Structure 1
């Protein structure tokens, strides 16, 4: 069998060009996929298109959320620390190691965030009564008020950013994202 015969058989079983519904406006990802389909018609590029769009959404959503934190004098990571303390419930106190685990952050990275938040009056460090070798991090009244206001604004901002989707589409997207995250974080078999 010649290379030409092999190519003909592969092309006969390979997926055809992806068609875009007339109700969907083509985007930059479609242009990339179309170019690759022209060069490699043997590949099913559906997953590439999805990953490309997820990447672009991430690049656009990140900065579109950051301005809210900046408005409150916070960086994203500092907001995350305050939010973790606030979500922990009264007395809004956690150990630095617990915060590091919750935020999947190195101990050194956590120390830098805690230093900045303590200087800003958002948190207090105190010796752990149960283990005098370690500290507890507590949300101050100022930190509590700041994170509550920032969370209110953050929620409204993200709601507005996703307003292009119907409630049903949001529910579907959430379910699909949850399924994908589960797949990506599941232990290798």
Structure 2
């Protein structure tokens, strides 16, 4: 069995008398956090070369993944990226000012607007996605594909249960 930096913490938790189920939950949480930090750090380093923040990249990537004309409502972006409407608004303002996205009226609903990629924004999004993909592959270098698939499936199983309920 391989060991990581969380194992040392878990040893301490067990020695402190924490129940095994709590130790397992803490290990899961710490490892998920550590993976997030490693992935985001690698991607952020690549995005810096493009002058993008991670949040800007996430918005551009979400829009690029939608079918042409690559547009969504701001509320759809917030929901799909797990960020607040205020956070989305700030990012959209920066991307609009930079000429990467534009906001257009929604003829089907006068109360909402569309956000869509400009041609420059689509080119930037594609470049950023390539760099992010390479960065993630670099982070996972040496990890067997089956281990990645197993971990992804296991995390889906956990999120399918806890993601449905409101966590306090």
Shorter-chain TM range is 0.7 to 0.9
State the shift of 1:169 in Å: 1.1
Unaligned runs of 5+ in 1: 1-20
CA separation of 1:128/1:187 partners in 2, compared to 1, >3 Å: closer, same or farther? same
Would you say 1:55 and 2:70 are equivalent positions?
A: no
Counterpart for residue 64 of structure 2: 86
In structure 2, distance between residues paired with 1:82 and 1:150: 9
Q: Secondary structure at the match of 2:114?
A: strand
Kindly report which structure 2 residues correspond to 1:103-114, keeping only aligned pairs within 5 A, or say none.
103-114=81-92
Which SS does the other structure have where 2:122 is aligned? Answer: helix
| Structure 2: runs of 5+ lacking an equivalent | none
Displacement of 1:66: 1.3
Higher relative contact order (CA 8 A, sep 6+): 2
The structure with the largest alpha-carbon Rg is: 1
Tell me whether 1:33 sits opposite 2:10 in the alignment. yes
Map 1:1-189 onto structure 2 (within 5 A).
Answer: 21=1, 24=2, 26-40=3-17, 43-44=19-20, 45-187=23-165
Q: Measure how far apart 1:133 and its partner are.
A: 4.2
Q: What SS is found at the alignment partner of 1:126?
A: strand
Stretches of 4+ aligned residues off by more than 6 angstroms? none
Helix, strand or coil at the partner of 1:124 = strand
TM-score, normalized by length of structure 2? 0.84
**83 and 165 in structure 1: CA distance in 2 versus 1, 3 angstrom threshold:** same
Give the match's secondary structure for 1:187.
Answer: coil
